[in-house]
Structure 1
Amino acid sequence: MPIRGGLPPRNPRFVGREELLTRVRGLLGNGPVVLLPSPDHQLGGTGRTQLAVEYAYRHADAYELVWWIPAEQSAGMRAALAGLAQKLGLPEARDLNRTLGAVRDALSRGEPYRHWLVVFENANRPEDIMPYLPSGAGHVLVTSRNPRWTAEVAQVLPVPVFDRSDAVDLLRGRVTELSAADADRLADRLGDVPIALDLAAAVRAATGWPVDEYLDRYDRRAAELAFPTPIRVAWGLAAEALDRAAPADRVLLELCTFLASAPISWQLLWAARTLPLEEEVARTVRVERRLRAAMRRIARFGLAGLDPSGERLTVHPLIRGMFGQELSSQRHAGLLRTVRGMLAAADPGDPDNPAGWYRYAELAPHLIHSDLLGGEAEEARQLVINCIRFHYARGDYDSSRELAGAAVTRWRDALGESAEQTLLASFHLANALRAVGRTAEARNLNLHTLRTQREVFGADDEATLATANSVGGDLRMQGHFGQARQLDADNLVRYRRLFGESFPTALRCANNLGIDLRLLGDFRGARALDEQTLRHRQAVLLDGHPETWASRAALAYDLFGLGDYAGVAAVLAGHAEHVAEDHPFALWAGRLTAMAAHRRGLPEARELAAATLAACRQRFGDLSVDTLATAVSSANCARAAGDLAGAHELLERAVIRLHAVLGDEHPFTLAASAGLAGVVRAAGRHADARTIDEEVLGGLRRSVGADHPFTLSCANGLAADLFAAGEAQRARELAADTLRRSRVVRGADHPDTAACAWNLALTDGDRAARQQALAALAKAYGDGHPVFRATAAGQRLETDIDLPPL
């Protein structure tokens, strides 16, 4: 049996279509096939989806994998493809787009399944699915109403109405005592249109109307319409019959008019029980048993599909559209208010919690059709904001950005630019923009939002503080670490005063301030703050909570910066084993472990660094700052192992990409360039290294100051360049200044301070100073460390730069 995902139940009453099924099978061998309505029924109703479902079941044995993807809305399509990624065993990237690209590529390569079938249902915008269309030995089947499919993308196959014999078989299959002659009469009147035939068969089965009575009713209703069509007339008879049997059920269907084609769960309809409703409707939705019975009656009359479990209704777009056209403007407005209230009442809250994501996945498709963005109630707009955050939290940054952008545009006009929820949507839009790499737009939007929030709500408002935290992230991305520290320190004071030290958002702000301190080279201050944050998080959160892991990683980075390389392993010991290999914490832990192993002279450092770099590329992408920082650490390990060519390639590529992502003057770009100079110097090209180091040192002094660890490491390298060039006096002055600063900043016992002392002693030719430096190195590293091979050979020591997280 093939692996299946999302495939709708097979229609037990499917009939005919043998020639079409054969044609689909033949065409799929030549590339994607799109099923379209026939030209004379462009609105649909000819059975495209049922044909695709039947094909999938009939030929399932020819495939190893069959996956069904609802493609009417891009968010739902991305979610279904993310589910396929899990089934393919692909690691989940932070950015969902990377995961979806990996799905396409894995299918195209035939890994791990060579023979597969992927069905995109209701793909009415070809441009939306084109980035995700795989090639290879598998098959792609598409259903659509849009005729704008080019031959370069897919082969078009129109799906016409039934042949008469198939139409007769469908009608007789529903009511076995129906004669062939009567079935032929019905099929003739219904134009052999599949959806009209299905409605007629369902209504006759539900009401017991004889054929003559049905046809009489059909003719009378057709005479009342200006433009009667088989679908419209058959729908009208079904809706009228349901209204007569159970008026409340018709109202439920009218509510569905404002929802999407996606399945509608009974829980969503049940949420309406808290709203003011007509008495009989209120009685129906108030009790689950009655609501489920109503859903079964609706399905009996053919007006919706009901899944085998009885959990979800699916209403055909044509049925929804015809109900909508029958509503007066006053009733339309009243039902729309009810639907918006129903959606808001179904909001589970806490969109960051994965436990509730399945509920948001059910609600999100209905936001557009209900025009929830235009809702007047605050709770309806809050559901929009929560859905924006849900998309972001699960890594679907594009869906988050699209919904947030639409909300900001609508609410600026309707509510005003300074309205609370307009500003909240702006905050989330900035987050999504930053996540997709549009950092300048994010920064400008955040600054504007923060100014407005401070003016309208004050600096102590919780939403204002959240935006200020986001601005701090923008400042770090710009390399303005000092400004970020100032802002985050002010935020933390406010958070603690308003909410207390252990409040989750106060702890997040403390975590951000720790990042700032670490980026500024204040590892002692960062350690004190991160230890405190970790204690609070352990007290209020489970130890396996992502924020607890983040605090452990932060503390490990602090210890690394302080030169306590053994302490890094102690903080991380055992904790990364409880998360997936590609979880951000596992990747942070992997990089830190490799960095500490490199500093301790352990041989496994390089292999661990390379494995972590490969995992980061898969998880975050080549242009992620996390990936580029890991590449710098991996290059340090490669250089220490003697692979200068490999180290040079890694650093050169990292520098180019950091230039593109962060800019020329960002401290990370400059620090990686200093690392590149170290590799060039190790290859004996001191003049080239000097050129790089002189430019980098000036940039670092301007951006982070002369006392920053990045600056000190670059200065240490430049002193070596000057010494090699015969400029002993300049080399000595720079080496002495670097040592003095390192003792103040890093501490006298720090390994890098000991390395600076060794280098100055070599420059001076001072035997006693060399012995003191060797003693300091022995204290820092212990006996047998590879550093002593370099000192024994009279070589100068590098002080490598590793980039902490932004």
Structure 2
Amino acid sequence: MPIRGGLPPRNPRFVGREELLTRVRGLLGNGPVVLLPSPDHQLGGTGRTQLAVEYAYRLADTYDLVWWIPAEQNAGMRAALAGLAQQLGIPEARDLNRTLGAVRDALSRGEPYRNWLVVFENANRPEDIMPYLPSGAGHVLVTSRNPRWTAEVAQALPVPVFDRTDSVDLLRARAPELSAADAEELASRLDDVPMALDLAAAVREAAGWPLSEYLRRYDERAAELAFPTPIRVAWGLAAEALGEDAPADRVLLELCTFLASAPISWRLLWAARTLPLEGEVARTVRVERRLRAAMRRIGRFGLADLDPAGESLTVHPLVRGMFGQELSSERHAALLRTVRGMLAAADPGDPDNPAGWYRYAELAPHLIHSDLLGGDAEEVRQLVINCIRFHFARGDYDSSRDLASSAVARWRDALGETAEQTLLAAFHLANALRAVGRTSDARNLNLQTLRTQREVFGADDEATLATANSVGGDLRMQGHFGQARQLDADNLVRYRRLFGESFPTALRCANNLAADLRLLGDFRGARTIDEQVLRHRQAIFVDGHPETLSSRTGLAFDLYGLGDFAAAAAVLAGQPSGRVPADHPFALWAGRFAAMAARRRGQPEARELAAANFAACRQKFGDLSVDTLAAAVSLAHCARAEGDLTGAHELLERAVIRYHAVLGDEHPFTLAASAGLAAVVRAAGRYAEARTIDHEVLGGLRRSVGADHPFTLSCANGYAADLAAAGEAQPARELAADTLRRSRQVRGVDHPDTAACAWNLALGDGDEAARQQALDALAKAFGDGHPVFRRTAEGVRLETDIDLPPL
């Protein structure tokens, strides 16, 4: 049996189309096929979707995988492709774009399924689906109303109306008592248009109208219209019949026409029970049983498709459009207000919680068709903001950015630039911009938003503090660690004053301040904060909660920075397993720090751990992420420690180039990675080249983070070795002595890197007593049998590697 995903139910009354199905099969062998309306029925109704569904079921056994993608809206299409990624065994990247690219590539390679069928339904903008179109041995089938498909993208196949025989078969299948002659008369009146035929058959069955009654009503209604097309007349009769049979059901259907062609769940309609509705409609939606019965009646009249389980209705775009044309402006406005209120009432809240994401996935497709951005109620706009955050939380940064950008533009015009929800949307837009790599735009927008919030709402407003936290993130990304510390310290005072010390948002702010201190090299200060935050989080969260893991990883890096590598490893080992996915960012941080600690402790598995972490970061974040680049630097240190200078050089050279592109030439991380590259070049004996790199890097680090920063001290230690190799003994000694003095003050006399600096100075001086003293310090720091003593036995200088904390 093939694997199926998202496939609509098969139409048990499907008839004919044998020649078309054969043509579809033949054309698919030459590339993607797009099913279009025939030229004389440009609005549709000729059965394109039903043809695609029938093809998928009829030919399913010839495929290993059949996957249906609703493509009317980007967000829904991307969500369906993300579901396909899970089926293909593709780990979800932090940025959904990378996951979707991996889906396309896996299908194109035929891994793990060679014979597949992917159907894009209602893909009315070719440019939207082109980035996701796979090639290879599988097949791509598209349904669309848009004739602007070029032959280079897909082969166009117009879907005409039925031939008369198929029309008669369809009508008689629905009404066996109908004679062939009567069926032919009705088919002739309806011009063999599939949707009109289906509506006529459904309403005759539901309303019990004999053929003569239906034809009489059909002629009367056609005479009332200026342009009586078969679909318009048949739809009008079905809507009229539903209104006569159950007026409340017709109102429910009218509400549905303000929503998208995506499934409309009974839960969404049930949310309307909280709204002020007309008597019978209110009674219908108040009780689930009555609501589900109404949905079944709407389906029986052919005005919407009811799924087999009776869970949801899907309204055809043509039906939506025809209802819209019938409504007066007053009625349209009233129904639209109700729909917006219904959507807002269905908002589950807490969009960061994965448990509620399925609810947001149901709501998000309907935002555009209900013009939720134009709603004048605060709770309606809050749903928009929650959907923006939902897209961001699940990694769909493009959808988050697009919706946030639209919200900011609309609300600036409607509410003003200083309105609370305009500013909140701008805050979320900046987050999305940063996530898609537009860091400069994010920074500028955040600063503008923060200034306005402080002026309008004050510095202690909760939304103002959230934006200030985001600005702190921008400052860290820019390399302005001191400014970030000042801002986050001020934020923390305000958070604690407003919420108390152990409130989750206050703890997140404290966590940010600890990150600033780590980046500044103040590991003692960071440790104090991280230990406090960890205690609070352990008290309020279950074991293994992501935020608890965040505190553990921060504390582990603090201990690592203080030179206590065993304690760092123990903190990470104490984290309960199984609660946080292996590819969660915090879990990946923990994996990198564990590999770092293993390397510094001289454990042979360090490189294997670092290599696995680097691969996982590439999969999750991509090659240009600062997390991936930091993992590459740590892996390079392992490679150099094992003597693999070629591997280390390749990793660091790529990392430096990418740091230059992502963070800029003067960012401390770019400079730190360059210092690591100099160490590899120095190990290869290319001292002049290493000296050139270190000279530039040391000047940059002194300017950016100061002479006492651990990054600067590590680079200075390497530069002293460059000078010594160049025969400049006196400058080398002076720099080594200065570096040792600063290391004792900054890192402490017992820090392993301080001991390494002491060894290097003693080695250059030829002072045996000082050398022995340094060896004793190294033994105290590392223990007997550590690989570092192979280096000292060879009488060579020791490197002090720079491992990068998270930004």
CA distance in 2, matches of 1:236, 1:586: 58
Number of the residue aligned with 2:463: 463
CA distance in 2, matches of 1:574, 1:230: 71
Q: How far did 1:587 drift?
A: 1.6
Contact map agreement 1:755 1:799 (CA 8 A) in 2? yes
Matches within 5 A, 1:190-269: 190-269=190-269
Say whether residues 1:539 and 2:539 are aligned partners. Answer: yes
Q: Give per-residue Cα distances to partners, 1:593-630, cap 9 Å, x unaligned.
A: 11111111111111221121111111110000000000
AA at the equivalent of 1:303: L
CA distance in 2, matches of 1:324, 1:542: 50
Q: How far did 1:575 drift?
A: 3.3
Number of the residue aligned with 1:647: 648
Q: Give per-residue Cα distances to partners, 1:477-530, cap 9 Å, x unaligned.
A: 000000000000100111011001111111110111111000000111111101
CA distance in 2, matches of 1:392, 1:176: 53
AA at the equivalent of 1:787: V
Q: How far did 1:251 drift?
A: 0.6
Say whether residues 1:326 and 2:326 are aligned partners. Answer: yes
Number of the residue aligned with 1:74: 74
CA distance in 2, matches of 1:550, 1:169: 65
Matches within 5 A, 1:465-480: 465-480=465-480
Q: Give per-residue Cα distances to partners, 1:643-671, cap 9 Å, x unaligned.
A: 11111110010000000000000000000
Number of the residue aligned with 1:390: 390
CA distance in 1, matches of 2:417, 2:442: 17
Q: How far did 1:408 drift?
A: 0.2
Number of the residue aligned with 2:186: 186
Q: How many residues are treated as equivalent by the alignment?
A: 806
Number of the residue aligned with 1:569: 569
Q: Give per-residue Cα distances to partners, 1:294-344, cap 9 Å, x unaligned.
A: 101100100000001111000000001101100000111111111111111
Number of the residue aligned with 2:621: 620
In structure 2, the residue corresponding to 1:14 is in which secondary structure? coil
Number of the residue aligned with 2:691: 690
CA distance in 1, matches of 2:370, 2:58: 36
CA distance in 2, matches of 1:574, 1:800: 26
Task: Indicate the larger mover: 324-333 or 541-550.
Answer: 541-550
Contact map agreement 2:271 2:345 (CA 8 A) in 1? yes
Number of the residue aligned with 1:23: 23
AA at the equivalent of 1:673: S
CA distance in 2, matches of 1:183, 1:208: 16
AA at the equivalent of 1:599: R
CA distance in 2, matches of 1:575, 1:175: 66
Give the root-mean-square deviation of aligned CA atoms: 0.8
Contact map agreement 2:63 2:117 (CA 8 A) in 1? yes
AA at the equivalent of 1:548: T
Number of the residue aligned with 2:805: 804
CA distance in 2, matches of 1:642, 1:415: 63
In structure 2, the residue corresponding to 1:117 is in which secondary structure? strand
Which structure 1 segments of 5+ residues have no match? none
Q: Give per-residue Cα distances to partners, 1:163-194, cap 9 Å, x unaligned.
A: 11101111011111111111000000001001
Q: Give per-residue Cα distances to partners, 1:531-571, cap 9 Å, x unaligned.
A: 11111111111122211111111111111111111112211
CA distance in 1, matches of 2:537, 2:86: 31
Q: How far did 1:765 drift?
A: 1.1
In structure 2, the residue corresponding to 1:347 is in which secondary structure? coil
CA distance in 2, matches of 1:372, 1:92: 30
Contact map agreement 2:550 2:586 (CA 8 A) in 1? yes
AA at the equivalent of 2:209: W
AA at the equivalent of 2:61: D
Contact map agreement 1:351 1:387 (CA 8 A) in 2? yes
Q: How far did 1:108 drift?
A: 0.6
CA distance in 2, matches of 1:121, 1:609: 43
Q: How far did 1:577 drift?
A: 4.0
Number of the residue aligned with 1:745: 746
Number of the residue aligned with 1:606: 607
In structure 2, the residue corresponding to 1:365 is in which secondary structure? helix
AA at the equivalent of 2:583: D
Number of the residue aligned with 2:725: 724
Number of the residue aligned with 1:419: 419
CA distance in 2, matches of 1:30, 1:570: 59
CA distance in 2, matches of 1:679, 1:67: 49
Task: Indicate the larger mover: 122-131 or 273-282.
Answer: 273-282
Number of the residue aligned with 2:155: 155
Number of the residue aligned with 2:311: 311
In structure 2, the residue corresponding to 1:118 is in which secondary structure? strand
Matches within 5 A, 1:333-348: 333-348=333-348
Number of the residue aligned with 1:661: 662
Q: How far did 1:574 drift?
A: 5.6
CA distance in 2, matches of 1:541, 1:103: 35
In structure 2, the residue corresponding to 1:369 is in which secondary structure? coil
Matches within 5 A, 1:354-433: 354-433=354-433
Number of the residue aligned with 1:143: 143
AA at the equivalent of 2:156: V
AA at the equivalent of 1:759: N
Number of the residue aligned with 2:550: 550
Number of the residue aligned with 2:519: 519
In structure 2, the residue corresponding to 1:364 is in which secondary structure? helix
AA at the equivalent of 1:241: A
Number of the residue aligned with 2:708: 707
In structure 1, the residue corresponding to 2:7 is in which secondary structure? coil
CA distance in 2, matches of 1:137, 1:576: 44
Q: How far did 1:583 drift?
A: 2.5
Number of the residue aligned with 1:597: 598
Q: How far did 1:214 drift?
A: 0.7
Give structure 1 regions of 4+ aligned residues with deviation exceeding 3 angstroms.
Answer: 574-577
CA distance in 1, matches of 2:69, 2:101: 15
What is the TM-score normalised by the length of structure 1? 0.99
Q: Give per-residue Cα distances to partners, 1:139-178, cap 9 Å, x unaligned.
A: 1000000001011110110000011110111101111111
Number of the residue aligned with 2:767: 766
Contact map agreement 1:576 1:586 (CA 8 A) in 2? no
Number of the residue aligned with 1:680: 681
AA at the equivalent of 1:635: A
Number of the residue aligned with 2:506: 506
Contact map agreement 2:518 2:526 (CA 8 A) in 1? yes
CA distance in 2, matches of 1:504, 1:172: 65
Identity %: 88
